[in-house]
Amino acid sequence: KGNNNLFLLWLGISVVSSGYSHFMDVTNDWELAHKDSKYFFLRDKINYPQNYYYFLIVTDAFLRFTWAITLSPNIAEKYFGSP
């Protein structure tokens, strides 16, 4: 029971941290997610095709969340199996 509570705490903190980091990547680092932009969820001036940006937004989210698993190999091995 105690280990399960710690796992849930770790999982919650990891999700919040990864979500916040992804949000900061998209809105501040990449300056995207402008709601009044002529390109949906991007910005008015883009240098690459729209699909490229959407692909990178999804990829960044995936990598942010999966990277959290590598921070704690014991948790990753216990709950997701060994590589």
Q: What does 19-53 look like in DSSP terms, one character per residue? A: HHHHHHIIIIIS----TT-SSTTS-S--SS-HHHH
Residues in the chain: 83
pTM, 2 dp: 0.80
**Average pLDDT for 19-29:** 96
Taking a C-beta distance cutoff of 8 angstroms, is the pair 22, 14 a contact?
Answer: no
Residue 23, pLDDT > 80, answer yes
- Residue 16 confidence (pLDDT): 94
Rounded-to-integer distance, Cα 41 and Cα 4, Å: 38
Residue 47: predicted pLDDT: 95
Can you tell me the distance from the alpha carbon of 77 to that of 83, in angstroms, rounded to the nearest whole number? 8
pLDDT digits (tens, 9 = 90+) for 25-83: 999 999 999 989 999 999 999 999 999 999 999 999 999 988 877 777 666 667 666 65
